[in-house]
Amino acid sequence: MATKKLIVVLGATGNQGGSVAEVFLQEPQWRVRAVTRNPASTKARALAARGAEVVQADLDLPSTLLSAFENANAIFAVSDFWGLFGDPANEAKAKGQQLNVWAANHETEQLKAVIDVAARIPTLERFVLSSLSNATKWSRGRYTHVYHFDSKAKAEAYGRETYPELWKKTSIFQAGFFLSNFVSTPIFQPVMTAHGKAQFVGNLDPDVKLPFIAAEEDTGPIVKALVQEDAGKNIIGYREWSSLRELSKAFSQATGAETECIRLATGQSNIPLPSELRLELDDNWAYCNEFGYEGRDDPTIIHPKDLDSSPELDSVVNYFRKQDWSRVFTQEK
Ligand SMILES: NC(=O)c1ccc[n+]([C@@H]2O[C@H](COP(=O)([O-])OP(=O)(O)OC[C@H]3O[C@@H](n4cnc5c(N)ncnc54)[C@H](OP(=O)(O)O)[C@@H]3O)[C@@H](O)[C@H]2O)c1
């Protein structure tokens, strides 16, 4: 039997990496090496039980990445801005800097370290980097506080400039707006009124089209195509390209609830936010409204339908049907 190829999956216990690991575990020609900081976690042990080789490595310890990447034919790389921002231990490391600014710089450094190590792997045939659009660049300097987008784009630019040989083997995966935000992120959760209407409240223009992805289901099928096809792609990953208003109609279809979209003015929020995050998110929504989530002037962007082996992805309605909304609507905000 021919030797199986090896894909190393960062973030394998998370949404994007978990989906990539799941898809490649079902591919007979591939074996999966799942990277985690904690091989004893429930998710890591579940991956091992499904047949993944689980290895311990840390984006903050590049020497651990070298052994994790050894003999890889493909690497899927993802970083975790919100994990860095949400970890109270990082407040001391920020040393007075705004935590989101620190987290963004740190995320860039982590991804640069991943790229440095990937460039040293002679067996590597495909590198897939989970990135996001450069909001500062594509808004032509108008929105400069979308730190968690620019942080990834900066690392991507570093890789392209520093390692032309690695970049010949690289494709970029930009994850669209996660549908799970509506289930588990308080500022995006719909609010149920006393009259049984689900309100989608926020600063996004409800008629601007956005890429919506079920990251935990759709990342794997899209990344599989990126691994199998020629490199050099920059894909915006999503299952449906729709406006918030269309999305709220899908919610109605799935749950039977009436819905409405309420657009708040810039600076307004239904939930109090730390001031530094307020600025970042204000810029983020304005950027999406005016320049597109993916930076719509970027001529290199392709869509899932442009892939040679475009994956069949499920619908937003079906995603909404599967969720337990009673938990969302009973939560204290
Ligand atoms: N929410 C959205 O709408 C959206 C849209 C596009 C992109 N994104 C981006 O998605 C990223 C998060 O991806 P996700 O949702 O797939 O992840 P996730 O589910 O939040 O999980 C984070 C993953 O990162 C791993 N990880 C974190 N720090 C690590 C470190 N120092 N070393 C090694 N592994 C580490 C964790 O592994 P262990 O804990 O097992 O070590 C875990 O697997 C963020 O950067 C965010 O900006 C989000």
How do residues 166-201 score in pLDDT, each as one tens digit? Answer: 999 999 999 999 999 999 999 999 999 999 999 999
Mutate to test the pocket of ligand 1, among 32, 80, 179 (most ligand atoms within 8 A of CB): 80
The residue whose C-alpha atom lies closest to atom 5 belonging to ligand 1 is 177
> What is the DSSP code string of 32-82?
EEEEES-TTSHHHHHHHHTTPEEEE-BTTBHHHHHHHHTT-SEEEE---HH
In the predicted structure, residue 103 carries a pLDDT above the cut 70: yes
Q: Is the CB of 148 under 6 A from ligand 1?
A: yes
- Closest by CA to 85, choosing from 282, 280, 293, 294, is 280
* CB 136, CB 180: distance < 8 Å: no
- Closest by CA to 104, choosing from 150, 58, 139, 136, is 150
* Secondary structure of residue 27 in the 3-state scheme: coil
- Closest by CA to 82, choosing from 176, 147, 19, is 147
Of 12-21, 107-116, 159-168, 272-281, the one with minimum mean pLDDT is 272-281
95 pLDDT tier (thresholds 50, 70, 90) = very high
Q: Is the CB of 59 under 6 A from ligand 1?
A: yes
Cα(62)–Cα(57) distance, integer angstroms: 8
Q: Is the CB of 237 under 6 A from ligand 1?
A: no
How do residues 204-215 score in pLDDT, each as one tens digit? Answer: 999 999 999 999
Q: Is the CB of 293 under 6 A from ligand 1?
A: no
Q: 328 CA to middle of ligand 1, Å? A: 22
Cα(290)–Cα(267) distance, integer angstroms: 16
Measured from the Cα of 16, ligand 1's closest atom is 16
Measured from the Cα of 185, ligand 1's closest atom is 1
- Closest by CA to 33, choosing from 61, 57, 50, 55, is 55
332 pLDDT tier (thresholds 50, 70, 90) = low
Measured from the Cα of 80, ligand 1's closest atom is 45
Average pLDDT for the chain? 96
Q: pLDDT value at position 276?
A: 85
Name the phi and psi angles at 88, rounded to 5: -55, -25
- E-state strands within the chain: 5-9, 30-36, 53-56, 74-77, 126-131, 170-175, 177-178, 191-192, 197-202, 209-213, 234-237, 240-243, 258-263, 301-302
In order of their start, the domains of the chain are 5-330 (3.40.50.720)
The residue whose C-alpha atom lies closest to atom 11 belonging to ligand 1 is 80
Q: Is the CB of 81 under 6 A from ligand 1?
A: yes
270 pLDDT tier (thresholds 50, 70, 90) = confident
The residue whose C-alpha atom lies closest to atom 22 belonging to ligand 1 is 14
In the predicted structure, residue 314 carries a pLDDT above the cut 70: yes
330 pLDDT tier (thresholds 50, 70, 90) = confident
Identity of residue 327: R
Q: pLDDT value at position 333?
A: 56
1 pLDDT tier (thresholds 50, 70, 90) = low
Identity of residue 196: G
79 Cα distance to chain centroid: 9
In the predicted structure, residue 80 carries a pLDDT above the cut 90: yes
* Percent of the chain residues topping a pLDDT of 70: 99
How do residues 9-61 score in pLDDT, each as one tens digit? Answer: 999 999 999 999 999 999 999 999 999 999 999 999 999 999 999 999 999 99
